[in-house]
Amino acid sequence: MQKSVKIEIDDDSGFCFGVVTAIGKAESELKDGNELYCLGDIVHNGEEIDRLAKMGLQVIDHADLSHLKNAKVLLRAHGEPPSTYKTALDNGITIVDATCPVVLRLQQKIRKAYEEHPDSEIVIYGKAGHAEVNGLVGQTKGTAKVVESLSDIDLIDFSRNILLFSQTTKSIDGYATLIEEIKKRKSKGTEFTAYDTICRQVSNRMGKIKQFAKSHDLVLFVGGAKSSNAKVLFEVCKQANHNSFFVSSTNDVQKEYLIGNIETIGICGATSTPKWQMEEIKRKLLTIIQSCIN
């Protein structure tokens, strides 16, 4: 490590507008002293969840929701299937709907496709079981096929017309590969339409974060272990700069990272990483650096 090390926090990292809005809605309910439940983790970041839990946000799952009566429940940016709204209505639950507008538009598109093309195969490129994907599949009464990668491609019925959508956080390259493979396999005389539904809040960050990672000697990527977006963006960092490490809290920051000729350190994160957490990591690094100098 050099005596003077520059540390830069990536301006383009941090919450996307969907997550900012969801957290803002939760904070404004909690500050009025209301009891508020959240269906699932509001963001895939353990430290931010702990912060909101201290303010009073209680995380519940779908089983809890079915027993809850006359309460207020926040639906996070990932969105929910129609069955969740039905349960809420039946149980007298007030919904604070923080579904991201980008996800909401995608849900509406899929529902329209399902209603207008009952004979077509609706395919969703996404992670099976992911909350957003569950919300999307719910628009088709559970009939859409979920394809996570090319290894799932045989799930698709190629004898039907195919309408393809993507989970908002999937990679553009992976989607393009799947589209090419479906074109090759589709049966003669059938139609295939692929809709561009990847959120640019995520995909635009890939190029930027690559440049950021390349411009530093050491990169600390801050993200939650459960975040798909964090995994994708960290891979981009790692490919651009092998000296990149994934940290979920200040406890993960190791002195050993600073071994070698380190002049600049970059701190970046996912769309689920709060700015305050990246600042905390910076403070921890400064403390380690100070202790090495003394």
How crowded is residue 24: how many other Cβ atoms within 10 Å of its Cβ? 12
Tell me the one-letter amino acid at 252: D
Q: What is the spatial distance between Cα 236 and Cα 229, in angstroms, rounded to a whole number?
A: 11
Tell whether residue 140 is a contact of ligand SF4 (CB under 6 A). no
Q: Name the minimum Å distance from CB 99 to ligand SF4.
A: 9
Instruction: Report the site for ligand SF4 in 52-81 (rule: CB under 6 A).
Output: 77
How crowded is residue 188: how many other Cβ atoms within 10 Å of its Cβ? 4
Tell whether residue 135 is a contact of ligand SF4 (CB under 6 A). no
Strand order of the sheet with strand 94-97? 57-60, 36-39, 72-75, 94-97
DSSP 61: -
Q: Identify whether 80 is a catalytic site residue.
A: no
Please choose, out of 24-32, 97-105, 114-122, 206-214, the segment that lies near ligand SF4 by the rule CB under 6 A: 97-105
Catalytic residue among 29, 80, 132, 148: 132
Residue from the set 9, 100, 209, 270 that interacts with ligand SF4 by CB under 6 A: 100
Q: Name the minimum Å distance from CB 101 to ligand SF4.
A: 7
Q: What is the spatial distance between Cα 129 and Cα 167, in angstroms, rounded to a whole number?
A: 12
Residue from the set 43, 65, 131, 199 that interacts with ligand SF4 by CB under 6 A: 199
Q: Name the minimum Å distance from CB 200 to ligand SF4.
A: 8
The answer to whether the beta carbons of residues 278 and 13 sit under 8 Å apart is yes
Q: What is the spatial distance between Cα 33 and Cα 27, in angstroms, rounded to a whole number?
A: 10
Q: Return the H-helix or E-strand segment holding 63.
A: helix 62-67
Tell whether residue 17 is a contact of ligand SF4 (CB under 6 A). yes
Please choose, out of 153-161, 199-207, 274-282, 286-294, the segment that lies near ligand SF4 by the rule CB under 6 A: 199-207
Tell me the one-letter amino acid at 171: S
Instruction: Report the site for ligand SF4 in 259-288 (rule: CB under 6 A).
Output: 271
Would you please indicate which residues are annotated as catalytic (active-site) residues?
A: 132
Instruction: Report the interface residues with ligand SF4, using CB under 6 A.
Output: 16-19, 77, 100, 102-103, 168-169, 199, 201-202, 271
